[in-house]
Amino acid sequence: MGSSYRETPLSESPFHGIINTNYIPTETGIAQIHGHLAPHETELARVEAFIEKLTLKRNHIKTYIDAHRALTSYPRRLPPEILQQIFVWCLPRTHNAVMDVAEPPLLLGRICSRWRSVAFSMPELWDSLHISVVFTLLNDAKIAHAAIADWLTRAAPRPLSLSIACSDLYTFSSEYKAVMDCLSPFSSRWRSVEFGDIPITLFSKLGEKLNTPLLTDVHLKCLFGLPIPGVRDRILSSNLFNRAKVHITSLDPAVFIVSRLQNAEYHSKWDHLTHLTFSLLPPTSDPDVRSKPLSFGSVYLLLQRCTQLQSLTVPIEASADRFTEDLVHPALESLTLFNRSLCCEALDGFVSYLELPRLTKFHLINLDVSDHSFVASVGALELLALNSPLISDLRLHLPDAYIVNSLHTILADFFPRLEKLSLGLCTENSEPHVPGAHDIFRMLAPGVVPGLDLKELELGISCVWDVSWLEFLWKHIDAGSNLQRIHLELWREDCLDAPAPVEPTLDPFLTRGLEVSVKRRVQPVVEMTPWEGVEK
């Protein structure tokens, strides 16, 4: 390198004896060390300058090579139809596309002119859109509205999936209307729309002026307070709900139902409703804000008015409602009731008044697996089966020994058409007279229950060895049963010392036509410490 510098090993340093020690040099010693390092520091500076020069030369050569290699790159030579398939797989699967330049599909148009041309010519990239009302207003609203219109125009003629969110309704209600005015010209192509906390007065007017022949799914969220009287009575009457699957999320779903049904001025029925789901907002930290499930009386009145309803899913709570006559609903095919707790007596009383001759699906869902009160008695299930003889899809929670002991009768005598069964058995009792998960496996084995011919089975069980359910699956395989799908949720307590279970292979079942999925859940164990009650 044209230098007289000689590399010196550390062992030949005149200060070798004090390096890596706690020795503190004197002022004279410090000066000697600096003098010794001077030629080494000069050489280091020369080497670093040389490296920098080589780095610049390397970067120049690499840039030149890369620019020419790009001309022969495979992505550049991809046929348009392959590129289009790749673009489609870039889209989000769990939500509508967001108007963000860092996310597809906008990102795909920022790579190069060819990609932009391909992306902008594909309607399927633009047929979904999520809009934040607050974000729209905080930026240039006019530009945002024009961008929304351009986006949806590119999607023509495909049906549209839209979602609108607003985190501050009281401040931005006028902007919400502006966004809806922007979306309204495309209403003839709406397929699915989620209105996130839309002003109820605005929503009540939409059905009067919009033409939505393709609309199949509507989700209405009321996150900030309840609909105002006089307007909320018209929500379920909206023409937007014609032929659509309706999902309403609210603090108090009853306000959409009771005020209208108990008012003698209203005599019209909600015959346009065919699929209706009510759900509750998740719990908040505010003790004054509580979600209120529907009473049995509200559900009874709802079924009474919605004569064409085919499916209904509602949160339910125990209530002392009394009914004067049986309710015959000839159209209902699916009924799902869910909550965290509910007494048997209230449920039994409600079921005894229902006659649902076309019902094929009945789900009773307990959201709190530790609460054993949300169950149906054997008597209620017998009445349900008597008045709904076509049930083929059944979901139950089985914490009670009496119910489990009666399961054979329930399956053999009450529901002979059963094809899909979902059972939640959340505790494994060690007492000999209380059946557990192993007893359920023995009961559901092929040939044990006469006439039982399941195609799908879902079980939520705890404290069961893998060998038990594996033996159960092999029994169905060996017997050539018609079981096509089984899903297991296996609960166990969280033991820090216990090793994670080794997942058995499921391939032998899949190759024989049995689809098996296993989900393991851990129930945390509360560990007692001397710090209980002490704020750290």
DSSP string, 60-113: HHHHHHHHHHGGG-TGGG--HHHHHHHHHHTS-SSSPPB--TTSTTGGGGGS-H
Comparing 320 with 136, the larger pLDDT belongs to: 136
Q: What average pLDDT does the structure give for the chain?
A: 83
Render pLDDT for 159-194 as a digit per residue (tens, 0 to 9): 999 999 887 766 667 888 889 999 999 999 999 999
- Percent of the chain at pLDDT > 70 equals 82
Name the helix (H) or strand (E) containing 392: none
Task: Report the pLDDT value the prediction gives residue 434, as an integer from 0 to 100.
Answer: 44
Size of the chain in residues:
536
Is the Cα dihedral 440, 441, 445, 448 positive or negative? negative
Tell me what the mean pLDDT of segment 347-375 comes to. 77
Distance CA 503, CA 487 (A): 15
Of the two residues 307 and 433, the one the predictor is more confident about is 307
What number is the average pLDDT over the span 142-164?
A: 95
Instruction: Read off the pLDDT band of 521 (50, 70, 90).
Output: confident
CA-based nearest residue to 460, from 483, 441, 487: 487
Supply the Cα-derived Rg of the chain in whole angstroms.
Answer: 34
Measure the CA–CA gap between 88 and 104, rounded to whole angstroms.
9
Instruction: Find residue 339's DSSP bridge partners.
Output: 366
- Single out the residue of 272, 273, 227 nearest to residue 250, CA to CA: 227
Average pLDDT for residues 118-127, to the nearest whole number?
97
* Separation between Cα atoms, residue 268 and residue 300, nearest integer Å: 16
Residue with tokens 């965290």, as numbered in its chain:
340
Q: Please tell me the predicted confidence (pLDDT) of residue 515.
A: 94
pLDDT at 316 over 60: yes
Q: Which residue has the higher pLDDT, 528 or 304?
A: 304
pLDDT in tens, 277-305: 999 877 666 666 677 888 888 899 899 88
Most confident segment among 50-54, 141-145, 259-263 = 50-54
User: pLDDT tens across 229-240, in order?
Assistant: 556 667 888 888
Main-chain phi, psi angles of 220, to 5 degrees: -110, 120
Tokens representing 255 are 């306000």
> Can you tell me the distance from the alpha carbon of 308 to that of 216, in angstroms, rounded to the nearest whole number?
16
Of the pLDDT bands very low, low, confident and very high (cuts 50, 70, 90), residue 523 is: low
pLDDT surpasses 80 at 266: no
Give the pLDDT score at 199.
78
Burial degree of 265 (CB within 10 A; 0-12, 13-18, 19+): exposed
Calculate what percentage of the chain has a pLDDT beyond 90: 40
> Position of tokens 């709570």?
317
- Reduced to 3 states (helix: H, G, I; strand: E, B; else coil), residue 285 is coil
Whether residue 475 has pLDDT greater than 80: yes
205-230 burial, b for 16+ CB within 10 Å, e for fewer? bbbeebebeebeebbbbbeeebbeee
Residue whose structure tokens are 């009874």 = 300
Neighbours of 533 (CB within 10 A): 5
Q: How many whole angstroms separate alpha carbon 349 and alpha carbon 323?
A: 9
C-alpha 389/C-alpha 509 separation (Å) is 33
